[in-house]
């Protein structure tokens, strides 16, 4: 009897999954905990930033050594194994020749951008055709970073002007999205803008484009750190961490570092197998399926008979 009840409850669980709306479906329990992390990191500074800022000391005296930024990442290699559920990358560094009196002074602004390689991407828009929602228009992008995280000491709009941010591709509004040549000619400028915004919006929804306005924290006169979430659905590939040091809207120094983000162990083996020898991999999949099907049914039947 109990067996039947277990089985029936499983069926109901499946039906509930069918009934759930599709866009809400990929709800992994870990997703919330992952998203919560940067918010937690940011919270101590929110209070700080809302406080009126202290008047900044005037221009540095002529001849004073110029400030620069040095930084590194907590792990230069991130391995994707079968247990990979995303990770957190700590980007930390210090301001060389810092003139900041304390961590709270707010004398400098630091922006950290963690970005994945640009890959081709196709955005589509649905419209209603004879009562059905059908993909009708599309815009191809030659390259869009598959992952883009930006953390800063305060909202980037307050840190520097748009031209500077755009030049360095800092911020979700200025992610480098180059439309493919054909799409650039065929699409109207206003449409192109809508498509670009849609790409950023959808990527944000997937947790692949991340923004944390108060995610960089100064720990002392010169030391700062930030913690950036790298969710499990980030396409595997090399990452670049770029660190920008600003003061009063002026870019003082930049620093960049690479993070290896690659498959390891069985994940690497399976992926290479599937991509390099697809026919053999297909045969392997059939073999696995046949073996698993036969083994599972015999094992189960034997237990049932016993």
Partner 1 sequence: MTLTATKRVSAYSMHIYLPIAEMSANVLLFLGMGCAVGFLSGLFGVGGGFLMTPLLIFSGIPTAVAVGTGAAQIVAASVSGAVAQYRRNNVDIKMGVVLLAGGVVGSVIGVKMVRILRMAGQFDLFVALAYVTFLGVIGTLMLIESASAIQAARSGAPRARRQPGQHSWIHKLPFKMRFHRSKLYISALPPLMIGAFVGFLGAIMGAGGGFIMVPAMIYLLRVPTNVVVGTSLFQIVFVSAVTTVMQASENYSVDVVLALLLIVSGVVGAQYGAAAGARLKGEQLRLLLAALVLLVCIRIGWDLVVTPPELFSITTSLGAPE
Binding to partner 1 in span 143-172, by CB under 8 A: 146
User: Is 292 a residue that touches partner 1 (CB under 8 A)?
Assistant: yes
> Could you say which of 56, 178, 181, 290 contacts partner 1 (CB under 8 A)?
290
**With CB under 8 A as the contact rule, which of the stretches 28-36, 49-57, 152-160, 254-262 interacts with partner 1?**
28-36
User: Is 302 a residue that touches partner 1 (CB under 8 A)?
Assistant: no
Question: Alpha carbon 253 to chain centroid distance?
Answer: 24
Strand ordering across the sheet containing 223-230: 68-73, 87-96, 223-230, 216-218
Strands (E), the chain: 68-73, 77-80, 87-96, 109-116, 118-129, 132-145, 148-152, 178-179, 209-212, 216-218, 223-230, 239-247, 250-263
User: Is 271 a residue that touches partner 1 (CB under 8 A)?
Assistant: yes
Q: Judged by CB under 8 A, how many residues of this single chain contact partner 1?
A: 91
Distance between CA 150 and CA 214 in Å, rounded? Answer: 10
User: Is 182 a residue that touches partner 1 (CB under 8 A)?
Assistant: no
Q: Would you state the structure tokens that stand for residue 294, as one six-digit string?
A: 């036969």
Return the C-alpha torsion angle 161, 167, 172, 175, nearest 10.
Answer: 170
User: Is 60 a residue that touches partner 1 (CB under 8 A)?
Assistant: no
> Could you say which of 1, 62, 189, 279 contacts partner 1 (CB under 8 A)?
279
Q: Is residue 106 a contact partner of residue 159, using CB atoms and an 8 Å limit?
A: no
> Could you say which of 1, 2, 4, 50 contacts partner 1 (CB under 8 A)?
4
Give the list of residues 6+ apart from residue 141 with CB closer than 8 angstroms, or none.
120, 121, 122, 123, 177, 178, 179, 180, 183, 199
Contact characters 209-248, partner 1, x per CB under 8 A:
----------------x-x----xx-xx------------
Closest CA to 148 of 218, 250, 237: 237
User: Is 77 a residue that touches partner 1 (CB under 8 A)?
Assistant: no
> Could you say which of 2, 59, 304, 306 contacts partner 1 (CB under 8 A)?
304
The residue among 47 and 304 lying less far from partner 1, judged by its C-beta, is 304
User: Is 33 a residue that touches partner 1 (CB under 8 A)?
Assistant: yes
User: Is 300 a residue that touches partner 1 (CB under 8 A)?
Assistant: yes
The residue among 167 and 205 lying less far from partner 1, judged by its C-beta, is 205
**With CB under 8 A as the contact rule, which of the stretches 55-63, 102-110, 153-161, 284-292 interacts with partner 1?**
284-292
């Amino acid at each position: 009897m109990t067996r039947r009840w277990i089985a029936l409850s499983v069926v109901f669980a499946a039906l509930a999954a069918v009934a759930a709306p599709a866009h809400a479906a990929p709800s992994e329990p870990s997703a919330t905990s992952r998203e919560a992390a940067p918010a937690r990191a940011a919270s101590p500074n929110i209070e700080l930033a809302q406080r009126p800022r202290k008047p900044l000391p005037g221009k540095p005296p002529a001849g004073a050594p110029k400030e620069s930024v040095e930084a590194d990442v907590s792990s230069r290699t991130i391995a994707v194994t079968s247990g990979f559920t995303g990770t957190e990358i700590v980007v930390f560094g210090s301001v060389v020749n810092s003139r900041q009196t304390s961590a709270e002074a707010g004398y400098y602004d630091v922006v950290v951008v963690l970005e994945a390689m640009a890959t081709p991407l196709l955005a589509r828009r649905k419209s209603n055709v004879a009562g059905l929602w059908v993909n009708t228009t599309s815009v191809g992008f030659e390259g869009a970073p598959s992952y883009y995280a930006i953390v800063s000491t305060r909202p980037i709009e307050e840190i520097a002007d748009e031209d500077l941010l755009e030049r360095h591709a800092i911020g979700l509004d200025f992610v480098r999205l180059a439309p493919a040549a054909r799409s650039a000619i065929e699409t109207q400028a206003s449409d192109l803008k809508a498509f670009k915004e849609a790409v950023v919006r959808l990527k944000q929804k997937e947790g692949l484009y991340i923004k944390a306005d108060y995610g960089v924290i100064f720990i002392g006169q010169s030391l700062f750190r930030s913690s950036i979430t790298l969710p499990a659905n980030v396409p595997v590939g090399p990452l670049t961490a770029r660190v920008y040091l600003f003061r009063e809207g002026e870019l003082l120094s930049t620093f960049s570092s690479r993070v290896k983000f690659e498959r390891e162990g069985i994940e690497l083996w399976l992926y290479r197998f599937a991509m390099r020898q697809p026919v053999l991999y297909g045969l392997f999949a059939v073999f696995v399926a046949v073996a698993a099907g036969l083994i599972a049914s015999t094992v189960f039947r034997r237990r049932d008979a016993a």
